[in-house]
Amino acid sequence: MSAIPKNAFVDLAGRVWLLKLNCGLATRIHDALGVDLANAHNGQAFRQLGSDTLLLIKTLTALIEPQLAEQKVSPEAFVEELDDVVLEQASDALAAMIVLFTRPAIRPVLEAMITKGTEGRKAAVDLATEKLSGPAAKAMIDRQLATLGQKMDAALAEAAPTNET
């Protein structure tokens, strides 16, 4: 099996999708979706696509539109063959595509930005995992449950029928 290019990904059906960008496509995507892939070095496109999965899916679909027609795959059928792992691979392919599209003078900055972003996300996940696994998180949950229990007890006591005759 041959290696696929960095700017390509494989969906769950085993189809390879090659992400390529040109000025016309960048303009159409910007006009239709508000994602400025042509100026991704400013970080805005990465923030948008990293925080909005549906926007990422729409952008991927727009990028491969000609390939969809060529392979006789509907956009809906394409989307059905995406999961979290494929989307992660597609995100990496999208970043590689943007680097390839970017003017050579800016590429080193963009590559450094992508590397630091990846490092930052990993560090944030590691920190969150550590904190959520620690005793402070357990203590917070116990406090919240105790407060909830007290509120429920008070509400039930208020609602309980009295034995007045």
Q: What is the mean pLDDT of residues 30-35?
A: 97
Tell me the per-residue pLDDT of 49-70, one tens digit each, with 9 for 90 and over: 999 999 999 999 999 999 999 9
Tokens of 89: 């691979």
Question: Using CA atoms, how far apart are residues 133 and 127, in angstroms rounded to an integer?
Answer: 10
pLDDT at 83: 98
Q: What is the mean pLDDT of residues 79-95?
A: 97
Give the residue carrying structure tokens 């959520």. Answer: 132
